Amino acid sequence: MKLWVYVTVLLVIMVGVSAGIYVYNAHTYSTSKSVPVVEEGDKISVRYYGYIYYGGERRVFDTNIEKVAVDNLTYPKTVTYKWPGKFDLLTFTVGSGTMIKGFDLGVRGMKLGETKTIVVPPDEGYPFDWNKVKNESTYQTVPVIENLTLDQFYNRFAHTNPDINSVWKDKWYGWNVIVLYVSGEKNIVTIQNNPDVGKDYEPFGDPSFIMHVNAIKNGKIYVHYIIKSIPILLPNGGIIDKVWDDHFRINYNKEVAGKTLYFVVTVVDIKSS
């Protein structure tokens, strides 16, 4: 075969291949569909879990993902975490004001099916109220004799009417008390606290919160609180979340208030407005 024939065949093959590639690319481009992106006004549904940090440890405070909810080893929970019961998608309209600002802003621009970690600074999350914070000394006193209302007695012991000279274990302090006087008419229950000097007690059964009895004198019990780890949820809803020198802080704000929040979010559905 002559040289010009080889050249002609080669040119035909090259043109054909080029044309094929062009047609393929054109076909791919023309039939592809753009992925929906979250915009203001869209109604979207998401899977998510939110967490905060305590001393470098990640703790989940909310989720609608069952796998996250049941796995406390991989996803340790905050002390106020509540089991959701069901795991429906979170559906809301972007820009409607139903979500905290940082979350609402964070989902904008996300694509359908995309998973993203949204970081919400404190000023775009939950507000912190300093009036809901108390600083307490780790050295305190408890009266030997206390007068309680019936409701106070029920909260600290049990919802059972007490009898004179009956012995009860205090849920709060962990030691035994004796009922000295009861009057339903006056709504008074007088108790005598009976701890042992030198003994450690676990208020509400939490081993990370120890109360050591130093002495009993002049009608007072002298105790020293030893806090081994935080946070600690108290029965009255307060959270011990800071310890320094001989003091600790009881915070009555929401556990997430004033903290940087992290949300791992997957967009499951987008309905444009």
The label of the residue with tokens 């393929």 reads: 24
Rounded Cα distance between 75 and 69, Å, is 8
Kindly provide the residue ranges of all beta strands, DSSP E only, lying in 31-175, ordered along the sequence. 43-54, 57-63, 90-93, 115-120, 133-137, 139-143, 145-148, 167-169
Q: How do strand 239-244 and strand 247-251 relate by DSSP bridges?
A: antiparallel
- Residue 152's nearest CA partner among 183, 187, 125 is 187
The tokens for 259 are 């903290």
Instruction: Note the pLDDT tens digit of each residue in 98-129.
Output: 999 999 999 999 999 999 999 999 999 999 99
Q: Where are the domains of the chain?
A: 43-128+257-271, 132-227
Question: Any alpha helices (H) in the chain, and if so which ranges?
Answer: 3-31, 66-70, 101-107, 150-156
Q: Are 158 and 167 in contact (CB under 8 A)?
A: no
pLDDT computed for residue 30 by the predictor: 36
Cα 39 to Cα 5, 23, 98, 106, 111: the distances in Å are 60, 34, 15, 11, 10
For residue 90, the one-letter residue type is: L
pLDDT computed for residue 129 by the predictor: 97
Instruction: Note the pLDDT tens digit of each residue in 24-59.
Output: 233 333 344 689 999 999 999 999 999 999 888 999
In this predicted structure, the answer to whether residue 12 has a pLDDT above a threshold of 80 is no
Instruction: Note the pLDDT tens digit of each residue in 135-145.
Output: 999 999 999 99
- pLDDT classification of 11: cutoffs 50, 70, 90: very low
Percent of the chain with pLDDT strictly greater than 70? 88
Beta bridge partners of 166: none
What is the pTM for the complete model shown? 0.75
**What is the gyration radius of the CA atoms in the chain, in angstroms?**
32
Question: Any alpha helices (H) in 63-149, and if so which ranges?
Answer: 66-70, 101-107
Class of domain 43-128+257-271: alpha beta
